[in-house]
């Protein structure tokens, strides 16, 4: 099924076409968790594969602890559109507590993908709609690799490893190279945690 520049094969993988129209990705987190940095890393990974990209926050600066969103546009053609993405083909949620605060499904296109940092499998979450759900316990991996603190683990790079598993076009090596380029500290730990998340993601099937 084709979706604004992306389509989903029988295996449920998100696929991009260089000649297709753009697709949008929204990353939801809390201020201080690195949603904006995650958007830059993801945009760089797609750029390394020849796509035109944009990465930008919803508005203003991140306020620590408050819900914040960042966006990525990906297109096989030059991107002329500006402004926020109203309907995203993929929504990535960095903090599981956001499920109790905001409707993370709002603005997710029909047939789209909801990727959650969550310790439970998708079928345990009770999320119902015309979309696919995938989960990865990025918090556990971040804690294991001492990313952030025990009270505030940083999961942004970890979740991007899981994203690479669900996106057939995006090569994990390009995600890891982008992490290396943009991560300010503990580079090897971030890369290893992203590798593990690539294999640990659950769900995402159509």
Percent of the chain with pLDDT over 70: 86
What angle do helix axes 156-166 and 172-182 make, rounded to 10 degrees?
Answer: 160
The predicted model gives 30-56 an average pLDDT of 94
Torsion of CA 69, 89, 153, 99, to 10 degrees: 80
Place of tokens 């604004």: 4
Single out the residue of 150, 163, 161, 152 nearest to residue 183, CA to CA. Answer: 161
Q: How confident is the model at residue 168 (pLDDT cuts 50, 70, 90)?
A: confident
Domain ranges of the chain: 2-203
Distance CA 205, CA 131 (A): 10
Mean of pLDDT over the chain: 88
Enumerate long-range contacts of 148-152, CB under 8 Å, 24 or more apart: 152/32, 152/33
In this predicted structure, what is the pLDDT of residue 204? 83
In this predicted structure, what is the pLDDT of residue 143? 98
Query: Is residue 9 predicted with pLDDT exceeding 60?
Result: no
In this predicted structure, what is the pLDDT of residue 84? 83
In this predicted structure, what is the pLDDT of residue 83? 80
DSSP string, 36-63: HHHHHHHHHHHHTTT-EEEEEESSS---
Distance CA 44, CA 171 (A): 12
Between CA 136 and CA 130, with CA 125 as vertex, the angle to 5 degrees is 95
Query: Is residue 17 predicted with pLDDT exceeding 60?
Result: no
Which residues are CB-neighbours of 131 under 8 A, at least 6 positions away? Answer: 105, 108, 109, 110, 111, 112, 113, 114
In this predicted structure, what is the pLDDT of residue 20? 52
Beta-bridge partners for 71? 26, 56
pTM over 0.85: yes
Right CATH for 2-203 from 3.40.920.10, 2.60.120.10, 1.10.150.120, 3.40.50.1000: 3.40.920.10
pLDDT-wise least confident of 64-68, 132-136, 137-141, 159-163: 64-68
């Amino acid at each position: 099924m084709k979706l604004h520049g992306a389509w989903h094969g029988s295996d449920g993988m998100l696929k991009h076409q260089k000649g297709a129209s753009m697709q949008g990705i929204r990353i939801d987190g809390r201020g201080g968790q690195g949603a904006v940095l995650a958007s830059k890393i993801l945009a760089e990974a797609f750029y390394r594969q020849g796509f035109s990209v944009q990465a930008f926050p919803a508005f203003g600066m991140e306020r620590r602890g408050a819900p914040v969103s960042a966006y990525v546009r990906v297109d096989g053609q030059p991107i002329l559109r500006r402004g926020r993405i109203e309907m995203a083909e993929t929504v990535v949620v960095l903090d599981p507590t956001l499920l109790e605060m905001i409707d993370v499904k709002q603005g997710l296109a029909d047939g789209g993908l909801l990727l959650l940092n969550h310790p439970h499998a998708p079928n345990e979450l009770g999320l119902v709609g015309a979309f696919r759900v995938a989960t990865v316990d990025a918090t556990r991996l971040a804690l294991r690799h001492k990313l952030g603190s025990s009270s505030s683990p940083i999961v942004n790079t970890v979740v991007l490893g899981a994203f690479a598993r669900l996106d057939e076009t995006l090569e994990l090596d390009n995600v890891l190279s982008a992490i290396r380029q943009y991560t300010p500290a503990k580079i090897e730990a971030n890369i290893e945690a992203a590798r593990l998340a690539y294999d640990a993601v659950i769900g995402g099937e159509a």
